[in-house]
Amino acid sequence: MMCMLVPCVAQAGDDEYIKVDWYPLFTDSVGWNIYTGDLVLGWNSASGADVAMGRSVDIGWLSVVGAKYNTGHGQRITMGLGINWRNFRLDKGKQFVQDEGHMSIVDAPAQASGVISRVKVFSLTLPVMLRQRIASKIDVFAGPVLNFNLHASMETTYTLAGDKVKHKSNHIHQVPVTVDVMGGIKWRCLGCYVRYSPCHVLREQYAPAFNPLTVGLYIGF
């Protein structure tokens, strides 16, 4: 009797095992799909600070891994986990300085040459984008981007009287979580985007309050 029960139990277990066909999840079919993509390269400006837009760079991978939902009617919703690196470099003749934990923007020494002063911010991002096809192979997209600002630093370098001067700090009190609004247009996989943050990058009680505005190029998949 026991010998007869064993194969019956094994057969029941085989029947209850759910086999998942992963292949459709990696396609662009209607419904849910696994997703990766959306590379951005932009240039930052900032209200409230003398940021040189041509020398301040925004580099990001919006969806290292994520999911997308295709409605089948030209709409797509994407969400995922990404990374972002932003650089805010001041205009020539200006510098970030930090004194007793408080950072400010002042003029660089009059005789200094080669002045470079910047703030860098590294973030993990959670973008949620709605895309709409408006013409053949042309899409518009928009949505919020949640930023977890894990690390920020300040660095100022210049040459004065033949000596190299460098000031650096890894404790500049970035706001830990901020939200951006992002939108753009693309043809096939190439496009452009605009990204604005109504949130300050650094805490007001420790540093100048400024809000980034970014314009750049977009590669989407």
Tens-digit pLDDT profile for residues 97-134: 998 889 999 999 988 999 999 999 999 999 999 999 99
Given this model, what pLDDT does residue 79 score? 93
Residue spans of the domains in the chain: they are: 30-90+122-154+171-219
Q: CATH 3.30.70.2860: does it fit domain 30-90+122-154+171-219?
A: no
Given a cut of 50, the residues of the chain with pLDDT beneath it are 1-15, 20-22
CA angle 52, 97, 100 (to 5 degrees): 150
CB 58 within 8 A of CB 195: yes
Note if the pTM is more than 0.85: no
Note the pLDDT of residue 33. Answer: 87
Residue 120 forms beta bridges with which residues? 87, 153
Q: What pLDDT score was predicted for residue 11?
A: 47
Q: Provide the phi-psi class of 74: left if phi over 0, else alpha when psi is between -120 and 50, else beta.
A: left
Separation of alpha carbons 24 and 62, rounded Å: 23
| pLDDT score, position 130 | 95
Distance CA 71, CA 198 (A): 31
